[in-house]
Amino acid sequence: MVPALSRAPDFLASLASSFLDHAAFVLVYLDGDHRVLHADDRIAAVLKGGRDGLLGRRLADTDHPIAQAVTRAAEQAARTGTAAPLDCEGERPGVGRTLLSGFVLPHRGESGAVQGFLGVFQDVTDPERIADFVMRRDPFVATLLDAAVDGVVVSDRGGIIRKINRACCTLFGYAEEELVGRNVSVLMPSPFSRDHDKYIHSYLDTGRAKIIGIGRDSLGKRKDGTVFPIHISVGQARMGGDVTFVGIIRDISERLAAEQRASYLARHDPLTGVLTRTAFLEECEAVLVNHDPADPGAGLYALYALDVDQFSDINEAFGFHVGDAALKAMVSRVSEVLPPQTYVCRIAADEFAALSRVEGAEHAQTLADLLHDRLTASIYADRHWVRLRLSIGAAVQDAEVRTLEELNAKAKLALQAAQHDGGNKVCLYTHEMAAAATRRMFLTMHLTHAIERNELHMVYQPIVDARSGRVVSAEALLRWTHHTLGPVSPGEFIPVAEESGLIVPITDWVLSTVVRQMADWFEAGVLPDRVFINISGQQFLRGNLTGRLEELLNQYPALHKRLGLEITEQAAVRDLKAAVRTLTELEAIDVQVAIDDFGSGYSSLSYVQQLPVAKLKIDRAFIIDVPENTRNNALVRAAVGMAHGLGLVTVAEGVETEEQRDFLVSIGCDLLQGYLFGRPIPPDALADMVRKQMETV
Ligand code: C2E
Ligand code: CA
Ligand code: CA
């Protein structure tokens, strides 16, 4: 009867020691930590410890050469997973100096892990007996071998199977009797079977081994002819002049399948199934190496870099399920639009890249536009309709740009240009983009030190009552005078500040500077009704704006009801829920909010209607050509009418001419701002303006 595998060591320990001690060979059994679980009296005698002194101890702790040799062999067996040869000298009481030879066999548990070692050896003076042991149907060896999970085959120098264990029979679908006495090559498919004899002979002649002591992956052949992957390791026991081979065979079908799965996972993004970055780079590089852009028939490759603008807003507003579903939908649309032989990869959470063959730059632009149209169309994701804003940068091979690295760098620059230009658009790489990117990098670096170098200051532009022309409020506008570049326009550096995150400390500086200025004006009795500060979208939705303003208002209680903020309509509608929350908080502390640049985005009054705001600032672009442009006249008139319907005060920006003013007054616009009434000016100049106005009352 075969003992349960997991109890094999117990079983060994419980075997009558008399049986083991009288076996024709010396036996020792070590557990996984090389602790002695069984040792027969003879080995105990050799090691001079006595059996009781040996049991439970680690062999390595016994500094006897044989103990050391067994430990080394066990280590080798653990490493190679196969029988490790053992040859060492020892002193045997009553016999004298003796040469021991044999091997240490790894013993595996069900999990496949090596859980112990069986050392089997004998005086070399008696080689016949050990050879006899290996091949004999010894009940102990048979039990151990049959308990092993791996297949074990013992064959002689001619490759004839002398012993085979149960696992091996099961593995190959044979009965034991069918195999013992046959050549091991019966277990191998060709060409392995054909080469096997040759291999053994060459090994016996030259001693050069391809497999012995190393182990390798190979193929096995079952009785029914089916072939399957195996790992085979072969140990040899040289006894006297003869050799016995012990093969340990493991079915590795599952391991290979797992490896294939792992390699698929390593090369593909688990969410969307597209290539990972590394896999993408490898595949694209291989494609480009074999492609000659000079060959007119070969076409050119275009690289598209895609980035969803503010993707985190979607996750925050709808949850990750919706975000994930939107990304999946996005990827499937990419494959709909781009040609079939396109490589797509996911670079980061919401960043993708695609490499496609195109006819030329124009074709690449058409595809990129199409891609943008498709990807920004509404997506139904997890019971929500979402619309992504997406920036695409594209670069096409030409005489200068050939390698993937170059293409990638250019596509990224084009993507940055698209993002810098407000995002949600397509940009094809041009040379100017490289220069612009360098300039942005330069500005970012220098903007970092702008506050500490005292390079920032505020100017104020008056906002007047349309009918009376009196200054009622002012807009605070930031200025940066770089020590070498001179003045840098906020139109240029504010986007840089937003992209780099520098907008956070800068806004903080603006808030405290303006509030301090207002307190001074208040003291001097020249503070306009309200002063408006521009807040970028990022700050509005994320920063703890209300908290900071509350702090400042506590510090300057006189400024209560005198502070206003301007936020762009795009920032406000990007995340309507968050916007409403912040706006409600601001309303509670009497900070008035105006919607800036109204009409410049693609939102509508129906959105604005949902926001608790007080003012609507109509974008300069609409004012610029009134009253000549009748279309804009109608638009401005409608905006003013509807805003009034919603109870909002209207402000027209960029008023430069009397005609513009007269038109705006005639349609009932409440407040006006523009060069006609005053440019953005230093605080003292604004104070003078207010003071003069008070004198004329
Ligand atoms: P904005 O908020 O729309 O500011 C109005 C811009 O129009 C200002 O440009 C102003 O000088 C200009 N402007 C006013 N009246 C006229 C006019 O009659 N004709 C013309 N042609 N232009 C006029 P500025 O100061 O260069 O600011 C540009 C943008 O930079 C601002 O646009 C705003 O978006 C941003 N910005 C300025 N200061 C700040 C700030 O402190 N924080 C933030 N986040 N953004 C700021
Ligand atoms: Ca503004
Ligand atoms: Ca504006």
CB atoms within 10 A of CB 155: 23
Which run of H or E residues covers position 664?
A: helix 658-666
Instruction: Give yes or no for residue 538 CB within 6 A of ligand 1.
Output: no
Could you give the dihedral angle defined by the CA atoms of residues 351, 356, 360 and 362, in that order, rounded to the nearest 10 degrees?
Answer: -50
pLDDT above 90 (res 79): no
Radius of gyration of the chain (CA): 42
User: Closest by alpha carbon to 356, among 303, 294, 398?
Assistant: 303
Q: What is the mean pLDDT of residues 251-256?
A: 89
pTM here is 0.60
Rounded to a whole number of angstroms, the distance between the first and last alpha carbons of the chain is: 116
Q: What is the mean pLDDT of residues 197-208?
A: 75
pLDDT for position 241? 62
User: Closest by alpha carbon to 346, among 396, 271, 414?
Assistant: 271
Q: How far is the CA of 26 from the centre of ligand 1 (A)?
A: 94
Q: Does residue 204 or residue 618 have the better pLDDT?
A: 618
Q: How far is the CA of 673 from the centre of ligand 3 (A)?
A: 10
pLDDT for position 573? 76
Instruction: Give yes or no for residue 569 CB within 6 A of ligand 1.
Output: no
CATH top-level class for 20-125?
alpha beta
CB atoms within 10 A of CB 596: 25
Q: How far is the CA of 621 from the centre of ligand 3 (A)?
A: 10
- The closest residue, in CA terms, to atom 33 on ligand 1 is 534
pLDDT above 80 (res 254): yes
- The closest residue, in CA terms, to atom 22 on ligand 1 is 654
- Helix, strand or coil for residue 481? strand
Instruction: Give yes or no for residue 570 CB within 6 A of ligand 1.
Output: no
User: Closest by alpha carbon to 284, among 409, 427, 407, 414?
Assistant: 407
Q: Give 412: exposed, middle or buried? Use CB within 10 Å, 0-12, 13-18, 19+.
A: buried
Distance CA 276, CA 269 (A): 5
CATH fold, domain 459-695, is: TIM Barrel (3.20.20)
Q: How far is the CA of 524 from the centre of ligand 3 (A)?
A: 29
Q: In Å, what is the CA distance from 487 to each residue of 144, 460, 479, 481, 501?
A: 87, 16, 7, 4, 21
Strand partners, 65: none
Cβ neighbours of residue 296 closer than 8 Å, sequence gap 6 or more: none
Q: Which amino acid is at 571?
A: A
Q: How far is the CA of 598 from the centre of ligand 3 (A)?
A: 8
Q: In Å, what is the CA distance from 388 to each residue of 78, 295, 365?
A: 56, 38, 20
pLDDT above 50 (res 685): yes
Q: What is the mean pLDDT of residues 471-492?
A: 96
φ, ψ dihedrals at 78, nearest 5°: -65, -40
pLDDT for position 24? 53
Q: Which two tokens stand for residue 306?
A: 């895609």
Question: In this structure, are residues 535 and 503 in contact, taking their beta carbons and an 8 Å threshold?
Answer: no
Cβ neighbours of residue 182 closer than 8 Å, sequence gap 6 or more: 160, 161
- DSSP for 613-636, written as a single string: -SEEEEPHHHHTTTTT-HHHHHHH
136-150, 301-315, 594-608: range with lowest mean pLDDT: 136-150
Q: What is the mean pLDDT of residues 343-363?
A: 94
pLDDT band of residue 236 (cuts 50, 70, 90) is: confident
Ligand 1 atom nearest the C-alpha of 676 is 18
Ligand number nearest CA of 594 is: 2
Which CATH architecture describes the domain 130-255?
2-Layer Sandwich (3.30)
pLDDT band of residue 602 (cuts 50, 70, 90) is: low
Q: What is the mean pLDDT of residues 203-221?
A: 76
Q: Which amino acid is at 85?
A: P
Q: What is the mean pLDDT of residues 487-496?
A: 94
- DSSP for 303-347, written as a single string: EEEEEETTHHHHHHHH-HHHHHHHHHHHHHHHHHHS-SS-EEEEE
- DSSP for 110-166, written as a single string: TTS-EEEEEEEEEETT-HHHHHHHHHS--HHHHHHHHH-SSEEEEEETT-BEEEE-H
174-183, 381-390, 448-457, 517-526: range with lowest mean pLDDT: 381-390
pLDDT for position 211? 63
Q: What is the mean pLDDT of residues 584-595?
A: 96
Identify which of 463, 480, 494, 532 to mutate to test ligand 1's pocket (most ligand atoms within 8 A of the CB).
494
pLDDT above 70 (res 125): no
Ligand number nearest CA of 532 is: 2
pLDDT band of residue 135 (cuts 50, 70, 90) is: very low
Q: Give 602: exposed, middle or buried? Use CB within 10 Å, 0-12, 13-18, 19+.
A: exposed
Instruction: Give yes or no for residue 497 CB within 6 A of ligand 1.
Output: no
Distance CA 224, CA 616 (A): 83
Measured N-to-C along each axis, helices 503-524 and 683-695 cross at an angle, to the nearest 10 degrees, of 30
Q: Does residue 572 or residue 525 have the better pLDDT?
A: 525
Distance CA 355, CA 286 (A): 12
Distance CA 254, CA 235 (A): 24
Q: What is the mean pLDDT of residues 556-577?
A: 89
- Helix, strand or coil for residue 486? strand
pLDDT band of residue 40 (cuts 50, 70, 90) is: confident
What percent of the chain lies above the pLDDT cut of 90?
A: 49
Ligand number nearest CA of 535 is: 1
**Triad 232, 234, 237: Cα angle to 5°:** 165
Distance CA 144, CA 545 (A): 75
pLDDT above 70 (res 552): yes
- Helix, strand or coil for residue 637? helix
Instruction: Give yes or no for residue 510 CB within 6 A of ligand 1.
Output: yes
114-128, 295-309, 459-473, 542-556: range with lowest mean pLDDT: 114-128
Instruction: Give yes or no for residue 486 CB within 6 A of ligand 1.
Output: no
Ligand 1 atom nearest the C-alpha of 536 is 44
21-25, 273-277, 402-406, 549-553: range with lowest mean pLDDT: 21-25
Instruction: Give yes or no for residue 619 CB within 6 A of ligand 1.
Output: no
Q: What is the mean pLDDT of residues 550-558?
A: 96
What is the CATH number that goes with domain 268-429? 3.30.70.270
pLDDT above 60 (res 136): no
Cβ neighbours of residue 9 closer than 8 Å, sequence gap 6 or more: 29, 31, 37, 115, 116
> For residue 183, what is the DSSP state?
B
Q: How far is the CA of 444 from the centre of ligand 2 (A)?
A: 22
pLDDT band of residue 399 (cuts 50, 70, 90) is: confident
Distance CA 194, CA 252 (A): 23
Q: How far is the CA of 474 from the centre of ligand 2 (A)?
A: 10
Q: What is the mean pLDDT of residues 192-219?
A: 75
Q: What is the mean pLDDT of residues 457-472?
A: 97
Question: In this structure, are residues 595 and 571 in contact, taking their beta carbons and an 8 Å threshold?
Answer: no
Among 9-23, 467-481, 621-635, name the most confident range.
467-481
pLDDT above 80 (res 263): yes
Q: Give buried/exposed letters for 194-219 (b at 16+ CB in 10 A, else e).
A: eebeebbeebeeeeeeebbbebeeee
Q: Does residue 602 or residue 615 have the better pLDDT?
A: 615
- The closest residue, in CA terms, to atom 20 on ligand 1 is 654
Among 118-127, 193-202, 673-682, name the most confident range.
673-682
Cis peptide before 627 (omega within 30 of 0): yes
Which run of H or E residues covers position 193?
A: helix 192-206
What percent of the chain lies above the pLDDT cut of 70?
A: 88
Q: How far is the CA of 369 from the centre of ligand 1 (A)?
A: 31
pLDDT above 60 (res 341): yes
Instruction: Give yes or no for residue 478 CB within 6 A of ligand 1.
Output: yes
Mean pLDDT of the chain: 85
pLDDT for position 91? 64
Spell out the domain ranges in the chain. 20-125, 130-255, 268-429, 459-695
Cα 288 from chain centroid (whole Å): 25
Ligand 1 atom nearest the C-alpha of 497 is 44
SS (H, E, C) 211-258: CECCCEEEEEECCCCCEEEEEEEEEEEEECCEEEEEEEEEECHHHHHH
Q: Which two tokens stand for residue 593?
A: 């909010």
Domain 20-125 and domain 130-255 have a common topology = yes
